Amino acid sequence: MSRNSRSLVEIFETLDADRQASLLDFAEFLQSKGNLALKEVIPPVLIPRPESETVVGAIKRLKQTYPMIDSMKVFSSASELMTEHMVKGRDANEVIDEMEKIFEDFYSKMLEEFQC
């Protein structure tokens, strides 16, 4: 049994019956989410890029285009680009191009992991 498994069992055994049931329910919920993700990777929702789009608008569009990507996974990169745009005055179109690339790369990586 792995260290994590032993720790989980030890924690489980210290809980009362109601909390044990809650922990088990939560574990089953997490397991079901993981299994759904492994069955299929949905394709992106093609939303055309507006001619004059703001960086914030682009983030919203990309989150709708790639709903299968956990936005927290791209948050760091996107926030760096947003800062470069707002603080350093970097061109919005360049920033949006890079954000699109970030989302595309995460999606491609997700597809590769799914196919393995």
Phi, psi of 55 (to 5 degrees): -65, -40
What is the DSSP secondary structure assignment for residue 89, as one 8-state letter? -
CA gap 91, 20 in Å, rounded: 53
Instruction: Determine the pLDDT at residue 48.
Output: 95
Instruction: Determine the pLDDT at residue 15.
Output: 85
Instruction: Determine the pLDDT at residue 87.
Output: 92
Q: What is the pTM of this model?
A: 0.64
Mean pLDDT by 10 residues, the chain (116 residues): 82 86 74 54 91 93 90 85 92 96 92 78
Contact 41, 73 (CB under 8 A): no
